[in-house]
Amino acid sequence: MSWDSVINLYAESIRESLNLDGAFGKSLDLGEVVKKLRGEIVEEDVPSREFERADLFVSHRLEVHGLENIDFRIYLDKRGIDKKEEPSGFVKRYEIGQAIGRLFLQFFKHPEDMPEEGELEENMLYHKFFDLFDGPIALTQDSCSFANSFLMPTKEFIEEVKKSGYNDGRRKKYNLAQISEMFLVPKGAVVKHFNNSRIKGTVRNY
């Protein structure tokens, strides 16, 4: 089993523990998910230094220490999100999905094992992996894999992909724009998740 597959299964197990079975796209309220996890989302107009770090490739940052009444805060770089070619709402959801991935990979082992309020702990099992490889870049890649499965659960993803497909006589093709609209995520995320799902055929923007 690949490392991506491990991350994907972990994301699916988190969804199950949060009672999100069958929820995706418009039925998946990420604001409510963050609240349930004792966090909050803040949009910022002025990028912080962390937003500007080229090695992170993200438009969010995560704060988990020294907070009152909450366990974590997700800051979204509004300027960075608006600059991207994809619809800003889709990018925003994907950034939140990545931040939730970072939260569970770095700090929570599982919702059922979440620490008491104010006792957020490092997930040392993941940190052993993190320290062996590429640090922030590895974490960004893993949080993307997590976000893909968290926002596009495997069962529903395969069903929606098949609905969008047609056969041109040579190879099965699937509608990238339609899938992106269904799950409210950027097209690049759909392509990566499609490739990891090993569905036969190609996904095209038509």
Find the domain containing 121 and state its range. Answer: 3-152
| Residue 179 pLDDT | 95
Q: Give the chain's residues under pLDDT 50.
A: 54-56, 124-134
Report pLDDT digits (tens) over 35-80: 998 899 998 876 555 555 544 457 888 888 777 778 889 999 888 8
Phi first, then psi: give them for residue 75, nearest 5 degrees. -100, 130
Residue 166 domain-assigned (yes or no): no
Q: In this structure, is residue 13 part of a structural domain? A: yes
If one counts every other C-beta atom within 10 angstroms of the C-beta of residue 78, the result is 17
Structure tokens at 99: 């931040």
Instruction: Tell me what pLDDT residue 172 has.
Output: 82
pLDDT of residue 133: 46
Which DSSP category does 68 fall into?
S
**Helix, strand, coil in percent for the chain, rounding step 5:** 50, 15, 35
* 103, part of any domain: yes
Domain count, the chain: 1
Give the H or E element holding residue 49.
none
Residue 195 in any domain: the answer is no
CA–CA gap between residue 201 and residue 165 (Å, rounded): 9
Report yes or no on 105 lying in a domain.
Answer: yes
The pLDDT, as a whole number, for residue 69 is 79
> What is the per-residue pLDDT for 50?
57
